[in-house]
A = this chain, B = another copy of it.
């Protein structure tokens, strides 16, 4: 695909129609999207509907292990999954910057289509706008996912209770470090690759094994530290983590030292936290490990009555430190 996005692609005329047909429909087409109507009639089986929205502004658009297209599906699917829902439909709004190579857009939309297929979700509505050079940055993609949760499922941050265990599905910081090293042109001995992936199957496996799971949460922007602080605040519990139990890849640990980052605050795009009653923790752990993305799953801490709203961590050196909210901005435009 040759050429670049220009302002006529956003005008709603012939150029817009051609871009939609030759690029978006080519990759994303299905019987609902192809109707070319302003809105899509959809149907949902019995169950509770769940919806969510994610705006994606990641820079660069392509990074080791993924791109903004796949990420924009994973991000929305995972937010649904964290409510125990399976994705059915996606909508996508594209904001293109004049000058974006159409070949890049083609690659991004193709990757988006593959991620949606893998997640079993159809993209049923889309919209494209174009802004002048210098008023955007390549492409921004905002996705909304609509899905269904089994009746009775009610997963929510405020359901965490003291005594419950905190599980993590795998190593942290991979996504943030992959993006940062790509942005800064850093090379490490072992290539660090984003973990960007859909987690709805892992979440469904956990729900099947532990129907009374209290909280599922994907630690994206702000990382595990921010996610647990939010849950602590919502539920009025404290958390005590065990640093030695938290998986961090050697390469990620090294890169974080070099970049002055704490992996606990670095974004993940294919990891989840699970909080459940202690007596079900082993079953949840097994369910996580049954999924390819959860091979390194571990119990990393527990919820406690003391210091409600706070997250503390037993360090590898035997001390205890507070894992506070992220004060400033650690990694801009990481998702």
Q: Are B144 and A55 in contact (CB under 8 A)?
A: no
Chain B residues near A8 (CB, 8 Å)? 328-329
Known: A39-B79, A43-B49, A48-B43. A325 touches B222 (CB 8 A): no
Residue of B nearest to A38 (CB): B79
Q: Are A39 and B51 in contact (CB under 8 A)?
A: yes
Q: Are B327 and A13 in contact (CB under 8 A)?
A: yes
Chain B residues near A158 (CB, 8 Å)? 35
Residue of B nearest to A58 (CB): B129
Of the candidates B49, B93, B220, which one forms a contact with A41 in the assembled complex, judged by CB atoms under 8 Å apart? B49
Chain B residues near A50 (CB, 8 Å)? 39-42
Residue of B nearest to A156 (CB): B37
Is A333 an interface position by the 8 A CB rule?
A: yes
* 0/1 interface trace, chain A 305-326, chain B, CB 8 Å (1 if under): 0000000000000000000011
Distance in Å: Cβ of A215 to nearest Cβ of chain B: 9
Q: Are A129 and B56 in contact (CB under 8 A)?
A: yes
Is A250 an interface position by the 8 A CB rule?
A: no
Is A44 an interface position by the 8 A CB rule?
A: yes
Chain B residues near A265 (CB, 8 Å)? 13
Q: Are A11 and B331 in contact (CB under 8 A)?
A: yes
Of the candidates B39, B59, B136, B335, which one forms a contact with A137 in the assembled complex, judged by CB atoms under 8 Å apart? B136
* Interface-located stretch among A81-89, A110-118, A182-190, A206-214: A81-89
Q: Are B51 and A91 in contact (CB under 8 A)?
A: yes
Q: How far is the CA of A163 from the CA of B59 in the complex (A)?
A: 53
Chain B residues near A220 (CB, 8 Å)? 12
Distance in Å: Cβ of A76 to nearest Cβ of chain B: 9
Is A198 an interface position by the 8 A CB rule?
A: no
Chain B residues near A4 (CB, 8 Å)? none
Distance in Å: Cβ of A41 to nearest Cβ of chain B: 5
Q: Are B54 and A93 in contact (CB under 8 A)?
A: yes
Q: How far is the CA of A127 from the CA of B75 in the complex (A)?
A: 11
Chain B residues near A140 (CB, 8 Å)? 95, 129, 131, 140
Q: Are B125 and A53 in contact (CB under 8 A)?
A: yes
Distance in Å: Cβ of A183 to nearest Cβ of chain B: 12
Chain A positions near chain B (C-beta within 8 angstroms):
7-8, 10-17, 35-44, 48-57, 59, 78-80, 82-83, 85, 89, 91-95, 124-132, 134-137, 140, 142, 144-146, 149, 154, 156-158, 217-218, 220-222, 226, 230, 234, 265, 267, 325-333, 335
A-B contact pairs, 17 of them (CB 8 A): A8-B328, A12-B220, A14-B326, A17-B230, A37-B156, A39-B80, A40-B51, A41-B149, A42-B48, A42-B49, A53-B91, A53-B125, A53-B142, A54-B127, A55-B142, A91-B144, A146-B146
A13-B329, A54-B127, A131-B333 known; 9 new pairs, CB 8 Å cut-off, are A11-B331, A38-B218, A39-B52, A39-B79, A40-B83, A41-B49, A53-B125, A56-B129, A57-B129
